[in-house]
A and B are shown apart, each in its own frame.
Chain A
Amino acid sequence: MRDGFLGNLWTLVRLRYRLIWAQARTSNGKIALLVALYLLGGSAALLAALSGLGAAIVDTEFEQAGLVARWMLTMFFINGAGLSLLFGVGTQAAFTEESLRRYPLNSQERFTVRLTIGLLDPVWLILIVGALGLAVGFAWFGEGSLITGLPAALFFIAASYLATACLLSLVGLIMRSRRGTALMGVIVLLLVSFGPLAISLIAVSKRESFWKLIDRMLRFTPSGAAATMMTGDTLLMVLGSALLLIAWCAALAWSLDRIERIPPITEGAVSGQATWDDLYDQIARLFGRNHAPFVARSLRYQLRCNLIRFSLITSPLLVLFGKFLIPSRTAKGEIIITFALFFITSAATGVAMMLNLFGYEGAGIRRFAVLPASFATSLRAGSIASLLLRAVTMLAALALWVALAKTQMNVRMFIVIFSIVIASLFLFNALGLWTSVLAPKSADFDAMWNSRLSFGANVVMIGGVFVPYAIAMGLSQRLDPAVILRFWWMALLLPMLSIGFYLFSLRAIEPVVISRREKLINLIAGARDK
C-alpha cells in the first residue's frame, strides 16, 4: 500500500455514505431510510440478542453439535446475499472499477476500496452482528472459546462477502447484454416467486432424508466450517475447519479476481428487416385512430420489459400452485382460496407498470406533451394495453385451471371465477390510472428488482394482495362455498361495478393528468436525461 492510501479509502467510504444520505433525502428515500433503519436497528438487535446468542443457547442446551449454528450462519449468508441482490449492493455499488480509475489508485488499491466499501454497506451489518453474536454466545456458554469463535466469525464474514461479490459480479457481467438481462431476470424472479413455494412443498412432504442430505452438504460450506470451528471439541476439528474456511476465502478471492477480468459480453448482430403493421398495430387499431399508435407503443413497451413478461408468463402457474402457499387443507376451503387467488393474481400481474404507467418512460414522457394528442391519451392507451395483456393472461390461467385443477368445476363456479377475474382486472387498472398520475415514480426499465412503485401504489398493490388473502383465510373455515355458488348471480355485479369505475376513471382522469402534466414530466424525465 502506498502512503496516503488509507486517507483516500476513508474519503471514498465517507463519500459512499454521503451518497446514501443524499438518496435518503428524497421522499421515497425517506421511506426507504425509515424501513432501513427499522430493519437495521431492529434486526441487528434481534439477531444479536436472539439469533446469535439464542442459537448458541439452543445449541448448547440441546447438544445439537453445531447444527443450529450451521443453519443460522447459512440463513445469515442468504440474508446478506439476498439483500445485496435486492438492493443492488456489492463491490460496484458505489464506485465501478471504471469510475475509480480517475482517482490516484492502482489496480490493487481499487480492488481493496471496492471490497471495503461493499463490506461496509448497511445490509452486511446484520450478518456481521449475527455471526459475532453467535461466536460470543458459544464462548459465554462454554461451548467454545473466543479464540476460535471470533476468527471463525471473521473468516465466515469474509467468505460470505466474497461469495456474494462473485455472485454479483457474475450477475453484472451477464446483465451487460440485453439477453443476459432477460435471462438473469427470469432466474431471479423464478427464485423469488417459486423458491418459497418449493420450500413449502418440501416442508409439506416431510422428507427428513432430504434435510439430512442438505445438512451434510452444509458442513463443507463456509457456514458449516465456521460452525464447527466455533463449537468443535477437538483441536483437529477446529484446525480442519479453519483450513477449510481459509481455503474458501482464497478460492473465492481468486474467483472474484478472475470473474472481474472477463471482458463484457457483447450484443450480437442488430441489423435485420424492419417489421411493419405487426400484431401490435393490428390489435391497437381496434381502439380507434387516435389511440391506436399509443396502444401499439404501450403493448411493445410492456412486452419488452422483462419483469412484466415474467409476471405475465408465471401468473397462470401461481393460480395453479398458489394454494400450496395458503394453509387450508379442506376441499371447501380450497374453493374459497381459489376465488381469492384469481382475484389476487388478476390484481398483481404486471403490477409494476399497471400502477405506474408513466414511470418507465424516462425522458420519453416529454414526447407526450409535444405530440398532437391530449396528454391523457397516452395514459389511457397505457392502461388499455395493460388491461389487454393481463386479460389474456388471466383467461389463459382460467383455462389452465379448468383443465388441470382437481376441484370439481361447474358452470356456476366458472361464472363466479370469471366475474372475479374481470372485476379485479378492471378495478386495479382503474386504480392504476389514479396512482400513475397521483403517485408516480421514476423506474428503471431494465432493473429486475428494487421497489418500482411509489408509496401510494404500494398501498394499492399490498391491499390488492393482503385484503383478499385475509378475507379468504377468514371465510375458508367458516363459509360454505355452496352458499356463494347458490347466489352466483351476485358475482356478476362485481365486474359491472368495476367496469363502471374504470370507464369513469378513464374520463375523470383527464383534467387531473393535464393539471399535473408538468409535474409528472419533471418527476419522470427530470433526473434521467440522456
Chain B
Amino acid sequence: MNSTVEILSIDSIQDSIRDSIRATSGEVAQPLAINIENLTKRYGEVMAVDRLSLGVPAGRLFGFLGPNGAGKSTTIGCLTGLIDPTSGAIDLLGERFTADSVELKRRIGVMPEGLALFDHLYAHEFLAFTARVYGLDEQTVRQRVEELLTVLDLTSVYRKRLAEFSTGMRKKVAFAAAIIHRPEILFLDEPFESIDPAGVAMLKDWLRRFVAGGRTVFMTTHVLETVERLCDDVAIINAGRLAWRGDVGRLANGGTLECNGRQFNTLEALFLSLVGEKYGRLDWL
C-alpha cells in the first residue's frame, strides 16, 4: 500500500522529473529520440499503462524496469506498433508514431516479447526476409546475414529450423534481426535472458558501440546489475505509472541514487523501495 501512495505522488511530478533530468545532466540540447506523452493502455477494467510520460534523448542506453505486470512490455508494444494505445502520443525521432507508421518503422529495430520468430524458416532465411523487408539490397542482405550468423556462432545450424533452436540461440537470431538494418532506435525486450555469458558480453559491447554512434537503445530487463553497468538512464514503472527516473551512471563513481529524499547505494535497493519488498514468510519451510 505504501508503494502505491508513493507512486501517486510521483505521478503528479513526472514532467518536473523529466525537466530536471535534462537540466542537471546538461543534455537540454540533445534531441529526444523517444518522447511519450500521457500514454495510456487499458484492457477492459485493467489499466496496463496509466498516463505515462517519458523522454529519452538520442545516444542513450535507456533501461526500462519494473516488476512483472508493471506495463513494460505493453509500453514497448505501443512504442513499436504491436499494441494500439488507448490514448496518448508517441514521437520517435521527432515524428508522430502510430502502428501504421511504415516509414518510421524502417528506422527502428525491435526484439519483441516472445521474440516473434517464424519457427519454420532457417535462421539465414529469417534474417534475409527481415533485411529485405527493411529494404536492404541483395548484396548487403547476404553480406550482413552471413556476418551476423558467423559472429553469433550460428553457422553450424544452417539446415535447422528456428523451432529446433535452443532459447539462447533463438534470442541471438531475434537480436540479429533487430539490428540487421542499422536502426536509429533499438527496442529490446529482455535481451540477455538465456544467452550464454560470452554471448551476453558480446551483445553488451555491440550496444555500447551502438549508442556511441549517436543511436538509442530502449530495453527492458529484470537483471538490475546489468542495468547498473550498462545503462545511462533508467526509468522504473509500477502498476503502469512512472515511479522513478534517473541517471544510474553515478553509481559507478561511488555516488548514490536519490528518491523521495532517500539515498540508495544500489539500484536494487531503490527498486525494492519503490515496488515494495516481497518478503513473505513461510513458517513451515
Complex interface residues of chain B between 149 and 179 (CB less than 8 A to chain A):
149, 155-161, 163-164, 167, 170
Q: Are B156 and A363 in contact (CB under 8 A)?
A: no
27 contacts between A and B (CB under 8 A): A269-B159, A276-B128, A300-B121, A300-B125, A301-B118, A362-B119, A363-B114, A364-B117, A366-B82, A366-B113, A367-B116, A369-B82, A369-B99, A370-B81, A370-B105, A371-B133, A372-B103, A372-B104, A372-B106, A372-B133, A374-B100, A445-B119, A445-B120, A514-B100, A521-B82, A525-B114, A530-B119
| Cα separation A272 to B155 with both chains bound (whole Å) | 9
| Cα separation A371 to B126 with both chains bound (whole Å) | 13
Cβ-neighbour of A367 out of B117, B142, B167 (below 8 A): B117
Please classify the interface of chain A as helix (H, G, I), strand (E, B), loop, or mixed, using the class held by over half of its residues: helix
Q: Which residue of A lies closest to B187 (CB)?
A: A370
Interface-located stretch among A110-118, A288-296, A408-416: A288-296
Q: Across the interface, which residues of A come within 8 angstroms of B27, CB to CB? A: none
Q: A272-B159, A277-B138, A518-B84 are in contact. Are A370 and B120 (CB under 8 A)?
A: no
Determine if B270 is an interface residue (Cβ-Cβ < 8 Å).
no
Determine if B206 is an interface residue (Cβ-Cβ < 8 Å).
no
Q: A366-B82, A371-B105, A518-B84 are in contact. Are A301 and B159 (CB under 8 A)?
A: no
Given contacts A304-B120, A529-B113, 12 further A-B contacts (CB under 8 A): A267-B160, A271-B159, A274-B124, A292-B132, A297-B125, A300-B125, A363-B115, A366-B116, A370-B105, A371-B134, A372-B106, A445-B120
Q: Are B120 and A300 in contact (CB under 8 A)?
A: yes
Q: Across the interface, which residues of B come within 8 angstroms of A270, CB to CB? A: 156-160, 164
Determine if B91 is an interface residue (Cβ-Cβ < 8 Å).
no
User: How many chain A residues have a CB neighbour from B under 8 Å?
Assistant: 40
Q: Across the interface, which residues of A come within 8 angstroms of B80, CB to CB? A: 369-370
Chain A min CB distance to B84 (Å): 6
Q: Are A293 and B164 in contact (CB under 8 A)?
A: no
Chain B min CB distance to A19 (Å): 24
| Cα separation A297 to B124 with both chains bound (whole Å) | 12
| Cα separation A472 to B273 with both chains bound (whole Å) | 75
Chain B min CB distance to A289 (Å): 8
Q: Are B118 and A367 in contact (CB under 8 A)?
A: yes
Q: Are B134 and A372 in contact (CB under 8 A)?
A: yes
- A 42-66 to B, binary, CB cutoff 8 A, 1 in contact else 0: 0000000000000000000000000
Q: Across the interface, which residues of A come within 8 angstroms of B142, CB to CB? A: 276
Q: Are A364 and B99 in contact (CB under 8 A)?
A: no
Q: Across the interface, which residues of A come within 8 angstroms of B156, CB to CB? A: 270-271
Q: Are A274 and B146 in contact (CB under 8 A)?
A: yes
Q: Are B119 and A297 in contact (CB under 8 A)?
A: no
Q: Across the interface, which residues of B come within 8 angstroms of A361, CB to CB? A: 118
What residues make up the interface of B, taking CB atoms closer than 8 Å to A? Answer: 80-84, 99-100, 102-106, 110, 112-122, 124-125, 128-130, 132-135, 138, 142, 145-146, 149, 155-161, 163-164, 167, 170
Q: Which residue of A lies closest to B82 (CB)?
A: A369
Q: Across the interface, which residues of A come within 8 angstroms of B118, CB to CB? A: 297, 301, 361, 364, 367
Interface hub of A274, A304, A373, A517 (most chain B Cβ within 10 A):
A274
| Cα separation A365 to B104 with both chains bound (whole Å) | 20
Q: A364-B116, A367-B112, A367-B118 are in contact. Are A517 and B124 (CB under 8 A)?
A: no
Determine if A234 is an interface residue (Cβ-Cβ < 8 Å).
no
Q: Across the interface, which residues of A come within 8 angstroms of B105, CB to CB? A: 370-372
| Cα separation A521 to B115 with both chains bound (whole Å) | 13
Q: Are A363 and B160 in contact (CB under 8 A)?
A: no
Determine if A99 is an interface residue (Cβ-Cβ < 8 Å).
no
- A 507-524 to B, binary, CB cutoff 8 A, 1 in contact else 0: 000000010011001000
Q: Are A373 and B102 in contact (CB under 8 A)?
A: yes
Q: Are B82 and A370 in contact (CB under 8 A)?
A: yes
Return the 5 tightest CB-CB contacts between A and B, nearest first. A366-B116, A372-B105, A270-B160, A363-B114, A293-B132
What residues make up the interface of A, taking CB atoms closer than 8 Å to B? Answer: 178, 267, 269-274, 276-277, 292-294, 296-297, 300-301, 304-305, 361-367, 369-374, 445, 514, 517-518, 521, 525, 529-530
Q: Across the interface, which residues of A come within 8 angstroms of B120, CB to CB? A: 300-301, 304-305, 445
Q: Which residue of A lies closest to B130 (CB)?
A: A371
Q: A304-B120, A517-B99, A518-B84 are in contact. Are A366 and B133 (CB under 8 A)?
A: no
Q: A370-B81, A372-B102 are in contact. Are A272 and B117 (CB under 8 A)?
A: no
Q: Are A366 and B114 in contact (CB under 8 A)?
A: yes
Q: Are A293 and B133 in contact (CB under 8 A)?
A: yes
Q: Across the interface, which residues of A come within 8 angstroms of B119, CB to CB? A: 362, 364, 445, 530
| Cα separation A144 to B158 with both chains bound (whole Å) | 66
| Cα separation A364 to B81 with both chains bound (whole Å) | 14
Chain A min CB distance to B147 (Å): 12
Q: Across the interface, which residues of B come within 8 angstroms of A305, CB to CB? A: 120
Chain B min CB distance to A278 (Å): 9
Cβ-neighbour of A267 out of B82, B122, B164 (below 8 A): B164
Interface hub of B117, B119, B149 (most chain A Cβ within 10 A):
B119
Q: Which residue of B lies closest to A371 (CB)?
A: B133
Chain B min CB distance to A389 (Å): 15
Q: Are B110 and A363 in contact (CB under 8 A)?
A: no
Q: Which residue of A lies closest to B102 (CB)?
A: A372
Q: Are B132 and A370 in contact (CB under 8 A)?
A: no
Q: Across the interface, which residues of B come within 8 angstroms of A273, CB to CB? A: 158
| Cα separation A215 to B167 with both chains bound (whole Å) | 54
| Cα separation A529 to B170 with both chains bound (whole Å) | 12
Q: Across the interface, which residues of B come within 8 angstroms of A517, CB to CB? A: 84, 99
Q: Across the interface, which residues of B come within 8 angstroms of A292, CB to CB? A: 132
Q: Which residue of A lies closest to B79 (CB)?
A: A370
Q: Across the interface, which residues of A come within 8 angstroms of B82, CB to CB? A: 366, 369-370, 518, 521
| Cα separation A269 to B157 with both chains bound (whole Å) | 9
| Cα separation A373 to B170 with both chains bound (whole Å) | 23
| Cα separation A366 to B177 with both chains bound (whole Å) | 13
| Cα separation A154 to B138 with both chains bound (whole Å) | 67
Chain A min CB distance to B58 (Å): 20
| Cα separation A514 to B112 with both chains bound (whole Å) | 19
